[in-house]
Amino acid sequence: MTTSAPVATRILANLGPAKLVEYAIRRGEGHLTDRGAFTAVTVPHTGRSPKDKFVVDDGMTAAGVWWDKNARMSPAHFETLQADVEAHLAGHDLFQQDLFAGADPKYRLPVRFQSPNAWHMLFVRNMFIRPTSAELASFLPVFRVLHAPEFQADPVRHGTATGTFIALNFAKRTVLIGGTRYAGELKKSIFTVLNWLLPERNVFPMHCSANIGAAGDAAIFFGLSGTGKTTLSADPTRRLIGDDEHGWSDRGVFNFEGGCYAKVIRLSAAGEPEIHAATQMFGTVLENVVLDNDDRSPMFDEDTITENTRASYPIEYIPNHESGGTGGHPKTVVFLTADAFGVLPPIARLTPRQAMYHFLSGYTAKVAGTERGVTEPTATFSACFGAPFLPRHPGVYAKMLGEKLATHGANVWLVNTGWTGGAYGTGSRMKLAHTRSMVRAALAGALDGAAFRKDPVFGFDVPTEVPDVPAGILDPRSTWPDPAAYDAQAAKLARMFRDNFATFAAGVDTDVAAAGPLTA
């Protein structure tokens, strides 16, 4: 069920990377780097606009959408907006890409993307799964994304908050995006669609990365931006299934996408060689990365445009990727957090109920910014590690997690990639080498028979030894110069957890709500 396309001068359908780059350069959409990657600048929007995202409130969505966190748009406003977007695009060349979301053919979603910008279609071509020639010949889109980056909505006429909009109409199977050039909106809109559709098919949609070991042992990594999700899943000893969005069905885990969207601020060849190499390849899209004026080389340390610099590239640019985009049922589940308060241990084992609690919490902490007077970290809670993309109540997804854990017996670990020896500004960041050692030990089963201690504040089990990791850092309290200061900070963080979780209490089982901090 799709609507007709706007009347365009030409529909330039399913062009390959070379032609898309040629069009983008000729049209002044961006520049090439010294190695041939394409760069675009998306100011003023250099990140997602969650307050400009809307779901149409109709008979299909009225009772099922989590309206506490999803803004409503009336069907009438959507119809007016769509008509005006199509009128705006009429007479323009439109670039079109027909792509699949979902590596498992049983659950994949055929999506048609249309945009006046060539580089945005190169982006989605990188990010989603490209059909074969035979599949293209019979391609029937189920969802359509109409992209009008230069069109500004009228809040009075269209029911929006600003000129920017990401409007999802599940009944019409149409997404409208406008008023922003930020490419991440294209991929995350379809993730939201899958978060609506797949639970009805008993598929658990997840905002996570995934990889697989030589023995076929799959693992998934949940975590918000800056926690190390992409870095830790791109392990040279394991094959990458995907870096951001997956489904867990009765057949196992599968990637929703065919590419990676890596954050590249301060990227280095020494620290992340595979991701760095991908940024040097033709067909990669670099978003808001500053270029050297003389030789057009990327300056990954520069944040003059934004901290949220990104690279979009096909997953095959990572040498050890899993070509089919699928794996078996995960043996290990990792929740990543960057605790800037310096409270959480670097690794802890969670019970299934604790896993559901921390999944619903989706905790990390952002460090203090450059604003004068801001001296403390800021706690960030994002339900299911992806609240902006959840059309349904978080309890729906947490229940699915609990059912998958019960059925398949996966071990769940909470891994803190944040601060030790004190909070941000006093302590130091966990060493990546130590975090890698802990994650690898967990994946290999090396901690299954380890000795554990019970964390007195959060109640989870913390190993007393991990191979290749100094034992002293496993107990965060012992790393602080002043243990009493740690106790006060831990109590403060526990209260934040409890205060945040109160918003979900009515929608989850009482034993899950009781699986949080022991004290507050």
Please report, as a single letter, which amino acid is at residue 506.
Answer: A
Active site residue 408: no
Active site residue 225: yes
- Do residues 200 and 230 lie in contact, with contact meaning Cβ atoms separated by under 8 Å? no
Bridge partners, residue 120, by sequence: none
Query: Of residues 207, 246, 321, 440, which has the active-site annotation?
Result: 207
**Burial of 233 from C-beta contacts in 10 A (0-12 / 13-18 / 19+):** buried
Active site residue 366: no
Q: Give the Cα separation of 30 and 15 in Å (integer).
A: 18
Q: Give the Cα separation of 378 and 365 in Å (integer).
A: 5
* Non-local CB neighbours of 74 within 8 Å, separated by 6+ positions: 56, 57, 159
Determine the Cα angle at 448 with ends 451 and 227, to 5°. 95
Q: How far is CA 390 from CA 55, 71, 287, in A?
A: 11, 12, 25
The DSSP annotation for 108-139 comes to -EEEEEEES-HHHHHHHHHHSBPPPHHHHHT-
Active site residue 244: yes
Terminal Cα-to-Cα distance of the chain (whole angstroms): 51
Active site residue 510: no
| Phi, psi at 419, each rounded to 5° | -105, 150
The DSSP annotation for 180-234 comes to ---THHHHHHHHHHHHHHGGGGT-EEEEEEEEE-TTS-EEEEEE-TTSSHHHHH-
Query: Of residues 310, 331, 349, 392, which has the active-site annotation?
Result: 310
- Beta carbons within 10 angstroms of residue 492's beta carbon: 14
The closest of 33, 8, 13 to 283, measured between CA atoms, is 33
Active site residue 207: yes
What sections of 266-351 are H helices per DSSP? Answer: 273-278
Query: Of residues 188, 276, 392, 440, which has the active-site annotation?
Result: 188
The closest of 205, 210, 436 to 322, measured between CA atoms, is 210
Q: Give the Cα separation of 256 and 247 in Å (integer).
A: 7
Active site residue 230: yes
Query: Of residues 2, 74, 80, 225, which has the active-site annotation?
Result: 225
Query: Of residues 52, 243, 244, 461, which has the active-site annotation?
Result: 244
Query: Of residues 45, 48, 53, 173, which has the active-site annotation?
Result: 48
The CA radius of gyration of the chain, in Å to the nearest whole number, is 23
Query: Of residues 42, 189, 227, 230, which has the active-site annotation?
Result: 230
Q: Give the Cα separation of 296 and 380 in Å (integer).
A: 36
Query: Of residues 125, 229, 276, 331, which has the active-site annotation?
Result: 229
The closest of 101, 95, 88 to 150, measured between CA atoms, is 88
**Burial of 264 from C-beta contacts in 10 A (0-12 / 13-18 / 19+):** buried
Active site residue 33: no
**Residues with catalytic function:** 48, 188, 207, 225, 229-230, 244, 310
